Each structure stands twice: as structure tokens, then as C-alpha cells.
């Protein structure tokens, strides 16, 4: 039996090499540590999992392990930031965003402290450890906090440039990574700008707006749809907050139908953000693919994703449903114009 | 032993801070006089003797830090900051007003001299641990002082920070415990007793000294002692009286978060030696 660490995540794209984001994170930390002498890395007893070991070996005086005390770690990060340091507090998404929620909200965000909340284990994709360790509300919680920037890289290539920009940014940031190796979807040299969505695939019939591990699945779905004669645009919204309203409004106006895809509750995350934005700026049919407002369960993510309606075929099915709504809306419009 | 002239000066300042607290909470119509009055003597000693601060440079990187973890007691902190020159004394009576920089609980981005936002209890010591670790990493010699009350010590995060500070022997960190044994709902001894409190801190590898938190000589001696301890964080367990200085507020938990009305303010200020009319 393949040990969990090596097993592929449910993202298909079998032809692509895979890497964990955590691994890219750990490697980038060492580079950034050399570049930013005021960078400090904080852990809460899962440094092995967050891959901060290399940073600790290179810069032992700038690494602090708080033990399993996430509230203390986040609040101390706030204190550290007032001494001119840039603390990166590393733990799992559930622990940071829920156990230390108050420290992030009432101190770090309220006081705009330059603390970076660096998390792995976002989403159902955590798999085997089960719902207590699968963060499916974290983006909603972090997004609701004023002053917070929320970043969700889609693959290992996206991590170094986004992380570098996050470190250079003066203000609180939430950086969400998954657990498992995911397909590399970007070429080295791809340009990433915080706050700017990336159009991974052009298309005119509908747009799939995705974040994180779901970007890869969105590309698979778009391939399938292309075979069915449907031309789907794919957007990677690696910065959920601030949301790239221009790209989302453009997608709505130019393609007229939206499917969102996220490894997160459909409430409050990327789907929520996009639906909120479009309701006010460019109302078009929207369908949200994600965790259907329920808790996950233990298991192989390859089994969990289809079980929870979050696999590539589910995105394809959602695309068909949203296109039907788009067509129905057009028909209604034509009828009403004919009657006039 | 501290200089008697210094003690007398600080007693006068503490009394002035108490009078501000009464006027501020009266003007605001809300706020927390009880815990402000119990902390007044220690706050006076910190801001008018112990802390290395410069009101003209509130962001001076080498300044000593003070965190009022029991953030509701900010009226006495604001009074000390104003009297020390961080902002005009006239600002004080605008406490909690929509136009004021003086928030109901301290906001480090609005009020000069406030080193850390506070309010939700149990967080200040962790922030202080961060500052003390930051001093160590950046090679600065400033000290960090944190003041807590009962509520702070009923919250779990305080003990996470206590363990961290003790383990890392943060000799540049001093905790002042305003132990008035009174909280919102009543006596802490009845609600969730903290005793044996000194033993708790000792068991977390802190150096502990117990004092009368209204005796300025003892406060000054303890602060000097804390400065000299370099191989452990220090806790000054100060036994205090909630509402200290105003007879009808003393040891009454009802005055935790209630402002005096005009008659009560007049009476309180008379006890504090000031003839006052609104």
C-alpha cells in the first residue's frame, strides 16, 4: 500500500509532475531568510509538517517553537512584529484560524500587525486525518476580517513568488496551502501578482473560477468540456482577498456564466466572494462547487472529492447546469423583447 | 529602600491619576473605574519612574514596553500617558467619544504611547513574550512590562505564555498582577479562585515577589528587584483593592464596569481631595 505521504491528491492531470506546496514553502523560506534579516519563523510543534526545518538549520536564532500553543504563538507573533521583525506563524489551518481566531482578529488584523499566518492542511484534501484537521471554513473566517490579505496558491511553482510578495507586504496575511502533492500547472517563470487573478485558459462560453488545489481540477474539467464543444475560461484566483473584481466582472460579462471551485465550504469562501461581487456588479448565473456545507470524513482524498461533489466531473456537471441557466435567461430575455 | 521624596511625588501623581479616572468615566457615562483605581499606584510608578520612555518619540525602538492586558483599566493608563505628555490632558474627558482617539479598550493605532491593543483578556502576556523575544533577537535592551488581572489569569492563553516565558528565561519580561480579587460577577475567590497564585507562577519557572500594590515604596523596590533578575521572568504579585481611594467603590465588584453619576463623581473626587463641579 502506498503510504499517504506519496499518494496523489484527487487532482487528476496524471501527465503532470506533482509537488507539495509545503515543500516549496520550506525551500523558499531559506531564500527569504537570507534576503530578509528580520524574518522570523514560528512553529507550534508541527515544524516537520510545515517543512520549516531547513530555515531553522540556517537561522536557528530566528526560529522559535512555541509548542502546541497556537494562541500564544499568534499573539506573540503580534508582539514580535512590533519590534521590527516579520513573523511567519506556521501551523495547520484549523488551529490558526479557529483556535487562534481571536488573536488574529482582535489584535493582528485590528491593529494591522505585520504577521503572516502560514498554514497547511486547508480543505478536505487533508484526507485521512479527518474533519478535525480539514479546514473548510478557514478562508471564510479570514476573509471576513478587515485588513487581512488571503492568498491560496494553486501549485508549488506559485508558492515562491507569492510568498516573497507576502513577506514584502506590510500587513496581516493568511497563506493557505494543502497537504498533498498536487500537479504542477504553471511553468517556471510564470508571473504572479498579489491581487491579480491569472487566466489559465481563455474561453467564451463560461468561466470556472478556482483557487488552490481546485485550479488543477478546473483545468481538467475545461479539457473535458472542450471535448464536448464547450469553451471554458479558467481563472486562478490565488488572492481571494482583495478579490480581483476586474477579472471576475470581465469573466461574467464576456462569458455570461460562472462556476466557482474551491476545496472549502461553499459558504463564505471563494464561491461566496465571487457571488457577492457579481450580485452587485454583474449578475450572471453562478454555481458553486465545493464542500456542500457539511463536515468531511477520513479517507483518501481521491475518494472524498467525488463523494462530496468536488471532482473534475462535478465541475463539468456544474458547467452544464450553469450553461442551461444562461440559455434559459437568454430565452427569457428574447421573449420579453419579442413581447414588447 | 526607595527615596521618600520620590515616594511622595508618586503618591501625588497616583492621586491625580485617580481623579482623572473618576472624571473620565463620569464624562463618558461608562467605563471601568474599579480596576483602574486598583492599578493607579503601579501605573504611576511605571510611567513616572521605572519605564525608559520618551513621550516625544512613542515609536522609539529602544523604549520599554507596557501592555495593559486588563485593557478595560485603560482610563488610568490614558491618564498616565496624558500626564506624561503623550497627548493633551484635555483629551481625557473625551474617553469613549466617537471623536476621540481614546477607545473603550486600548488601540495601539489610535493612541500614542499604547504599545499593544488590549481588551480580550488573557492575551497581553503572549504579546509581551513576543516583545521580549523580539528584544532578544534584535539585540535591544528594552524591557517589557505586562499588567494582568484575575480575568487574564482565568484565560488559558496566559498560561501558554507563562510556560513559554519561563522556559526561555525571559529576564527582560516583568508581569504585574493587580490582584484585587474582584471581577465582573463578584469575588474571584467565589467564581474561580486563583490561589495559590504565587505558587502557580513559581511552578512555571518565574521569580515571584509579593507586595502591597498600593505601597509605593514596596512597588519601587519590587520593580528594582525585577530589573536585577536576569535569568527568569519576574512576577510582581501585587495585593490590591478594587476601587482603591474611593470608599464607596472599594472592594465592590459592582464598580468593575460602571461609571459614577454626577453626585457620585463629586463625592469620589472630594475623597481624593478635589472640590469639583461638572
**Tens of pLDDT, residues B92-110:** 999 999 999 999 999 999 9
Cα gap B97→B232, rounded to integer Å? 41
Q: Are A90 and A164 found together in one domain?
A: yes
Please say if the pLDDT value at position A155 is more than 60: yes
Residue B176 — φ and ψ, nearest 5°?
Answer: -110, 120
Asked if residue A51 belongs to a domain, the reply is: yes
- A3: Cβ contacts below 8 Å, ≥ 6 apart: none
Contact assignment for B127 to A64 by CB distance below 8 Å:
no
Cα gap B92→B25, rounded to integer Å? 9
Asked if residue A191 belongs to a domain, the reply is: no
Cell 499604547 identifies what position?
A: B114
pLDDT digits (tens, 9 = 90+) for A97-149: 999 999 999 999 999 999 999 999 999 999 999 999 999 999 999 999 999 99
Judging contacts by C-beta atoms under 8 Å, the chain B residues touching residue A72 are 126, 129, 157, 160-161, 164
Asked if residue A339 belongs to a domain, the reply is: no
Q: Are A147 and A286 found together in one domain?
A: no
Q: Is residue B278 very low, low, confident or very high in pLDDT (cuts 50, 70, 90)? A: confident
Residue B275 — φ and ψ, nearest 5°?
Answer: -80, 120
Tell me B197's DSSP state: H
Q: Among partner residues A75, A79, A112, which is closest to B134 by beta-carbon distance?
A: A79
Contact assignment for B130 to A111 by CB distance below 8 Å:
no
Q: Which residues of A are catalytic?
A: 70
Question: What is the distance in angstroms between the Cα of B128 and the nearest Cα belonging to chain A?
Answer: 6
- A131: Cβ contacts below 8 Å, ≥ 6 apart: A295, A296, A297, A298
Question: For chains A and B, what is the number of CB pairs under 8 angstroms?
Answer: 102
CA nearest B67: which of B165, B145, B150, B119? B145
Asked if residue A220 belongs to a domain, the reply is: yes
Give the CATH number for residue A48.
3.40.50.970
Cα gap A232→A186, rounded to integer Å? 18
Q: Are A224 and A164 found together in one domain?
A: no
Taking the Cβ of residue A69 and every Cβ of chain B, the question of whether any pair is shorter than 8 Å is answered with yes
Alpha helices in A124-207 (DSSP H): 138-143, 159-168
Best mutation target, B127, B155, B167, to test chain A (most A CBs within 10 A)? B127
Mean pLDDT of chain A: 95
Q: Are A130 and A74 found together in one domain?
A: yes
Taking the Cβ of residue A278 and every Cβ of chain B, the question of whether any pair is shorter than 8 Å is answered with no
pLDDT digits (tens, 9 = 90+) for B139-159: 999 999 999 999 999 999 999
Q: Is residue A73 very low, low, confident or very high in pLDDT (cuts 50, 70, 90)? A: very high
- B35: Cβ contacts below 8 Å, ≥ 6 apart: B70, B72, B73, B149, B178, B180, B242, B256
Contact assignment for A84 to B135 by CB distance below 8 Å:
no
**How many independent structural domains does chain A possess?**
2
Cα gap A300→A21, rounded to integer Å? 18
Q: Is residue A14 very low, low, confident or very high in pLDDT (cuts 50, 70, 90)? A: low
Taking the Cβ of residue A239 and every Cβ of chain B, the question of whether any pair is shorter than 8 Å is answered with no
- CB-based contact B41:B35 (threshold 8 Å): no
Asked if residue A4 belongs to a domain, the reply is: no
Please say if the pLDDT value at position B235 is more than 70: yes
Asked if residue A15 belongs to a domain, the reply is: yes
Q: Are A151 and A235 found together in one domain?
A: no
CA nearest A95: which of A64, A125, A71, A77? A71
Give the pLDDT confidence score for residue B103 in this predicted structure: 97
Q: Are A157 and A207 found together in one domain?
A: no
- CB-based contact B226:B174 (threshold 8 Å): yes
Question: What is the distance in angstroms between the Cα of A89 and the nearest Cα belonging to chain B?
Answer: 12
Contact assignment for A83 to B127 by CB distance below 8 Å:
no
Contact assignment for B117 to A107 by CB distance below 8 Å:
yes
Please say if the pLDDT value at position A10 is more than 80: no
Q: Is residue A224 very low, low, confident or very high in pLDDT (cuts 50, 70, 90)? A: very high
Contact assignment for B164 to A69 by CB distance below 8 Å:
yes
Residue B173 — φ and ψ, nearest 5°?
Answer: -125, 130
Strand partners, A191: none
Judging contacts by C-beta atoms under 8 Å, the chain B residues touching residue A82 are 65, 108, 115-116, 130-131, 134
Q: Among partner residues B117, B120, B134, which is closest to A83 by beta-carbon distance?
A: B134
Judging contacts by C-beta atoms under 8 Å, the chain A residues touching residue B128 are 79
Q: Are A265 and A162 found together in one domain?
A: no
Q: Among partner residues B61, B115, B164, which is closest to A84 by beta-carbon distance?
A: B61
Give the CATH number for residue A235.
3.40.50.920
Strand partners, B208: B235
Mean pLDDT of B120-148: 98
Contact assignment for A111 to B108 by CB distance below 8 Å:
yes
Cα gap B12→A67, rounded to integer Å? 45
Please say if the pLDDT value at position A8 is more than 60: no
What are the residue boundaries of the structural domains of chain B, listed by start?
Answer: 4-271
Cell for B139?
A: 539585540
Q: Is residue A338 very low, low, confident or very high in pLDDT (cuts 50, 70, 90)? A: confident
Give the pLDDT confidence score for residue B2 in this predicted structure: 85
Q: Are A169 and A226 found together in one domain?
A: no
Contact assignment for B116 to A84 by CB distance below 8 Å:
no
| Chain A stretch 31-50, residues whose beta carbon is closer than 8 A to a beta carbon of chain B | 38, 40
Asked if residue A82 belongs to a domain, the reply is: yes
The vertex-B269 CA angle with B268 and B274, nearest 5°, equals: 155
- A105: Cβ contacts below 8 Å, ≥ 6 apart: A145
Q: Are A225 and A159 found together in one domain?
A: no
Q: Are A170 and A219 found together in one domain?
A: no
Please say if the pLDDT value at position B246 is more than 50: yes
Q: What is the domain range of residue A127?
A: 10-183
Q: Which top CATH class is B4-271?
A: alpha beta
Contact assignment for B130 to A77 by CB distance below 8 Å:
yes
Mean pLDDT of A33-57: 97
Q: Are A31 and A174 found together in one domain?
A: yes
- CB-based contact A281:A245 (threshold 8 Å): yes
Asked if residue A3 belongs to a domain, the reply is: no
Cα gap B108→A113, rounded to integer Å? 10
Cα gap A39→B54, rounded to integer Å? 28
Q: Are A322 and A206 found together in one domain?
A: yes
pLDDT digits (tens, 9 = 90+) for A270-308: 999 999 999 999 999 999 999 999 999 999 999 999 999
Residue in B closest to A99 by C-alpha: B157
Taking the Cβ of residue A68 and every Cβ of chain B, the question of whether any pair is shorter than 8 Å is answered with no
Amino acid at each position: 500500500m502506498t503510504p499517504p505521504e506519496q499518494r496523489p491528491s484527487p487532482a487528476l492531470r496524471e501527465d503532470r509532475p506533482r509537488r507539495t506546496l509545503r515543500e516549496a514553502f520550506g525551500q523558499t523560506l531559506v531564500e527569504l531568510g537570507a534576503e530578509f534579516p528580520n524574518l522570523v519563523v514560528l512553529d507550534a510543534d508541527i515544524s516537520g509538517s510545515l517543512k520549516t526545518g531547513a530555515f531553522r538549520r540556517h537561522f536557528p536564532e530566528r526560529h522559535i517553537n512555541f509548542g502546541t500553543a497556537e494562541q500564544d504563538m499568534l499573539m506573540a507573533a503580534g508582539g514580535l512584529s512590533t519590534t521590527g521583525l516579520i513573523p511567519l506563524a506556521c501551523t495547520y489551518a484549523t488551529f490558526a484560524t479557529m483556535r487562534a481566531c481571536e488573536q488574529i482578529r482582535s489584535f493582528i488584523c485590528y491593529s494591522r500587525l505585520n504577521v503572516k499566518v502560514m498554514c497547511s492542511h486547508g480543505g478536505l484534501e487533508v484526507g485521512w486525518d479527518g474533519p478535525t484537521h480539514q479546514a473548510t471554513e478557514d478562508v471564510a473566517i479570514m476573509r471576513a476580517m478587515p485588513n487581512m490579505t488571503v492568498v491560496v496558491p494553486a501549485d508549488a511553482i506559485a508558492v515562491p513568488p507569492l510568498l516573497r510578495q507576502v513577506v514584502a507586504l506590510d500587513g496581516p496575511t493568511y497563506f493557505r496551502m494543502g497537504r498533498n502533492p498536487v500537479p504542477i500547472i504553471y511553468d517556471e517563470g510564470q508571473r504572479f501578482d498579489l491581487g491579480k487573478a491569472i487566466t489559465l485558459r481563455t474561453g467564451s462560453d463560461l468561466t470556472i473560477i478556482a483557487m488552490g488545489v481546485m485550479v488543477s481540477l478546473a483545468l481538467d474539467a475545461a479539457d473535458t468540456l472542450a471535448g464536448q464543444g464547450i469553451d471554458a475560461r479558467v481563472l486562478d484566483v490565488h488572492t481571494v482577498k482583495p478579490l480581483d473584481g476586474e477579472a471576475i466582472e470581465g469573466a461574467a460579462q464576456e462569458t455570461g456564466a460562472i462556476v466557482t471551485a474551491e476545496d472549502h465550504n461553499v459558504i463564505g469562501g471563494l464561491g461566496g466572494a465571487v457571488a457577492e461581487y457579481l450580485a452587485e456588479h454583474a449578475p450572471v448565473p453562478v454555481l458553486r462547487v465545493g464542500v456542500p456545507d457539511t463536515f468531511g470524513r477520513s479517507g483518501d482524498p481521491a475518494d472524498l472529492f467525488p463523494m462530496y461533489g468536488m471532482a473534475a466531473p462535478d465541475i463539468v456537471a456544474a458547467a452544464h447546469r450553469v450553461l442551461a441557466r444562461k440559455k434559459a435567461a437568454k430565452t427569457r430575455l428574447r421573449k420579453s423583447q419579442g413581447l414588447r | 529602600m526607595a527615596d521618600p521624596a520620590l515616594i511622595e511625588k508618586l503618591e501625588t501623581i497616583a492621586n491625580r491619576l485617580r481623579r482623572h479616572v473618576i472624571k473620565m468615566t463620569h464624562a463618558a457615562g461608562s467605563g471601568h473605574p474599579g480596576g483602574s483605581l486598583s492599578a493607579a499606584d503601579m501605573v504611576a510608578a511605571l510611567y513616572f519612574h521605572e519605564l525608559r520612555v520618551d513621550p516625544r518619540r512613542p515609536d522609539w525602538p529602544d523604549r520599554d514596553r507596557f501592555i495593559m492586558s486588563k485593557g478595560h483599566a485603560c482610563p488610568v493608563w490614558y491618564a498616565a500617558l496624558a500626564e506624561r505628555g503623550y497627548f493633551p490632558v484635555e483629551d481625557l474627558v473625551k474617553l469613549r467619544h466617537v471623536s476621540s482617539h481614546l477607545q473603550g479598550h486600548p488601540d495601539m493605532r489610535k493612541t500614542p504611547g499604547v504599545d499593544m491593543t488590549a481588551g480580550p483578556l488573557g492575551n497581553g502576556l503572549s504579546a509581551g513574550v513576543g516583545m521580549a523575544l523580539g528584544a532578544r533577537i534584535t539585540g535591544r535592551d528594552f524591557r517589557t512590562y505586562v499588567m494582568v488581572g484575575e480575568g487574564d489569569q482565568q484565560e488559558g492563553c496566559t498560561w501558554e505564555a507563562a510556560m513559554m516565558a519561563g522556559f526561555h528565561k525571559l529576564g527582560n519580561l516583568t508581569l504585574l498582577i493587580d490582584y484585587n480579587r474582584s471581577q465582573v460577577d463578584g469575588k474571584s475567590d467565589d467564581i474561580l479562585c486563583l490561589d495559590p497564585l504565587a505558587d502557580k507562577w513559581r511552578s512555571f519557572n518565574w521569580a515571584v515577589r509579593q507586595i502591597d500594590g498600593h505601597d509605593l515604596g514596596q512597588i519601587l523596590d519590587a520593580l528594582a528587584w525585577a530589573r536585577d533578575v536576569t535569568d527568569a521572568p519576574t512576577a510582581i504579585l501585587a495585593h490590591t483593592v478594587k476601587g482603591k481611594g474611593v470608599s464607596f467603590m472599594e472592594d465592590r465588584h459592582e464598580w468593575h464596569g460602571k461609571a459614577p453619576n454626577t453626585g457620585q463623581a463629586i463625592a469620589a473626587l472630594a475623597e481624593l481631595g478635589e472640590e469639583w463641579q461638572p
